């Protein structure tokens, strides 16, 4: 068994390695300097529902090929009826999802979700998707912030995230939002992260 000092040192080195890699990859640079300006004041974030099924399909159609690959870690041309039902008809406990809506255009622009590990319910896998034209404008960060608060209120204590190696936006967002994010595994195509989830300071609803 390793001592607590050794484990702490390993964890610290992983965090330092993540931040060094973030800087080396140029992730601190803004990726949206020439993107259209969007106003977050027009964005509503709420729990997803089965009524959002048509909007989810429309949002998927607005994802470019690269965005689809980064979200699903494979080439994906469409969503099946079963997938749409799974993504929208959630129980808001084991599977929670928040949708961001552009209230001016009345269209969905992003989704964040966590799905608990059935064997370890205080651990949940997390994913965030934002349509291409809204990427880089803070929608993903706000979705993830609200989802993290919900998870903390509901007893989730750790997020896991499997991220494509070249998904720079997600890697940058994790490094920016979570000071204790750890890179715990990698292979030729993906990176595995773990993030401690704290109960929010504000009272839970």
Name the DSSP letter for residue 161: E
The CA radius of gyration of the chain, in Å to the nearest whole number, is 17
Give the Cα separation of 160 and 144 in Å (integer): 13
Nearest to 131 by CA among 55, 73, 75: 55
State the alpha helices, DSSP H only, in the chain: 4-24, 53-61, 65-72, 81-88, 139-153, 168-177
pLDDT per residue as tens, the chain (205 positions) = 333 333 333 344 444 444 444 443 433 233 333 345 567 889 999 999 999 999 999 999 999 999 999 999 998 999 999 999 999 999 999 999 999 999 999 999 999 999 999 999 999 999 999 999 999 999 999 999 999 999 999 999 999 999 999 999 999 999 999 989 999 999 999 999 999 999 887 878 7
Q: Could you identify the residue written with the tokens 């390695």?
A: 17
Give the Cα separation of 100 and 205 in Å (integer): 20
CB atoms within 10 A of CB 103: 10
Under 8 Å between Cβ of 140 and 174: no
**E strands in the chain:** 43-47, 95-102, 107-116, 123-130, 158-164, 182-186, 190-196
Question: Given the DSSP bridges, would you call strands 123-130 and 107-116 parallel, antiparallel or unpaired?
Answer: antiparallel
Under 8 Å between Cβ of 114 and 160: no
State both tokens at 20: 């060094």
What is this structure's pTM?
Answer: 0.80
Number of continuous H segments (helices) and E segments (strands) in the chain: 6, 7
């Amino acid at each position: 068994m390793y001592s607590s000092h050794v484990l702490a040192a390993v964890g610290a080195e992983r965090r330092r390695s993540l931040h060094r890699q973030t800087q080396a990859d140029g992730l601190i640079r803004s990726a949206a300097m020439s993107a259209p300006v969007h106003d977050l004041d027009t964005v509503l974030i709420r729990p997803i529902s089965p009524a959002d099924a048509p909007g989810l399909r429309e949002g998927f159609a607005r994802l470019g090929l690269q965005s689809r690959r980064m979200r699903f870690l494979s080439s994906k041309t469409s969503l099946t009826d079963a997938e749409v039902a799974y993504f929208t008809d959630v129980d808001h406990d084991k599977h929670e999802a928040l949708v961001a809506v552009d209230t001016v255009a009345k269209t969905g622009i992003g989704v964040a979700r966590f799905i608990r590990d059935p064997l370890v319910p205080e651990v949940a896998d997390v994913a965030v998707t934002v349509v291409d034209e809204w990427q880089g404008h803070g929608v993903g960060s706000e979705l993830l912030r609200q989802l993290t608060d919900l998870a903390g209120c509901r007893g989730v204590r750790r997020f896991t995230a499997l991220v494509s190696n070249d998904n720079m936006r997600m890697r940058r967002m994790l490094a920016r939002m979570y000071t204790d994010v750890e890179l715990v595994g990698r292979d030729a195509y993906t990176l595995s992260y773990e993030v401690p989830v704290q109960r929010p300071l504000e009272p839970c609803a």
